[in-house]
């Protein structure tokens, strides 16, 4: 497997249902009945795919009471990067009621019932393509929550950025990333507004251990900063050095 054939880090954000249950699946459809004891919910999850279009709907209910949530997603897969370069682009729209935020994340992608009066939305453009020898991964992400409570403010977040990968050899590549994120009333906190950013670069080394085993070591130097009310940093910006080792089977 080539080093650039990575798992899309965004997939779980908009197609993630957890728990124990029964799933029926055929070529274009999936039907799941789930029990999530950790979140205390029962859920019915339905997916239907036709051509380049994916649809998904989740109905969840609290085990302890009658509170429920409904969320829906539609995605279109384009066979070019933003309609220009060789590659692909996924356009995603989600909406849900009875949901809000869980552990700092908008909970549209999971079978959660965490705010019976709330609603949330999410729009994503996620691409992967090539320009010469460069591999380009742009992302645009916007989401928000209406908490349905006058004591809390609506929360919005918009992120944009890209990763550029430069192959050096079959086992070595350089990776460059730049992202910026703007938030308003972060997690419903009034006046928690601001911008945060990240710029990172570093090499990734893949070891040759067979077709189905892909260990990768990544090393990065990252410059992060922004408004401290959003970043939670002690100062406006800082440089961090990091490493990551992973193996996919």
- When comparing pLDDT for 160 and 117, which is higher? 160
Q: What is the pTM of this model?
A: 0.86
Distance CA 68, CA 128 (A): 36
Mean pLDDT for 11-37 is 84
Mean pLDDT for 225-249 is 89
Q: What is the pLDDT of residue 39?
A: 85
Q: Give the residue from 247, 167, 170, 239 showing the smallest Cα distance to 203.
A: 167
In which residue are the tokens 């682009």 written? 89
The fold adopted by the segment(s) 11-248 is Maltoporin; Chain A (2.40.170)
Count Cα neighbours of 222 within 13 Å in the Cβ-side half-sphere: 14
Q: Above 80 in pLDDT, residue 210?
A: no
Q: What is the pLDDT of residue 188?
A: 83
Q: What is the tens place of the pLDDT at every residue in 101-138?
A: 877 788 887 788 888 889 999 999 999 999 999 999 99
Is there a contact between 4 and 173 (Cβ–Cβ < 8 Å)? yes
Mean pLDDT for 17-31 is 90
Q: Above 90 in pLDDT, residue 180?
A: yes
Mean pLDDT value across the chain: 87
């Amino acid at each position: 497997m080539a080093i650039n054939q990575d798992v899309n880090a965004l997939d779980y954000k908009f197609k993630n249902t957890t728990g124990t249950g029964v799933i029926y699946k055929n070529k274009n459809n999936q039907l799941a009945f789930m029990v999530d004891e950790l979140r205390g919910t029962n859920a019915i999850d339905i997916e239907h795919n036709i051509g380049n279009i994916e649809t998904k709907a989740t109905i969840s209910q609290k085990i302890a009471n009658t509170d429920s949530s409904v969320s829906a997603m539609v995605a279109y897969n384009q066979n070019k990067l933003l309609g220009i370069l060789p590659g692909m682009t996924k356009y995603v729209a989600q909406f849900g009621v009875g949901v809000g935020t869980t552990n700092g994340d908008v909970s549209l992608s999971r079978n959660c019932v965490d705010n019976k009066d709330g609603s949330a939305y999410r729009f994503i453009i996620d691409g992967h393509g090539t320009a010469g020898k460069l591999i380009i991964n742009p992302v645009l992400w916007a989401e928000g929550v209406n908490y349905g409570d006058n004591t809390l403010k609506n929360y919005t977040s918009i992120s944009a950025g890209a990763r550029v990968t430069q192959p050096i050899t079959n086992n070595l590549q350089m990776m460059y990333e730049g992202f910026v994120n703007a938030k308003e009333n972060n997690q419903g906190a009034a006046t928690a507004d601001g911008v945060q950013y990240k710029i990172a670069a570093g090499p990734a080394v893949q070891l040759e251990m067979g077709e189905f085993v892909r260990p990768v070591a990544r090393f990065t130097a990252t410059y992060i900063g922004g408004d401290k009310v959003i970043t939670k940093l002690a100062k406006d910006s800082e440089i961090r050095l990091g490493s990551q080792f992973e193996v996919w089977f």
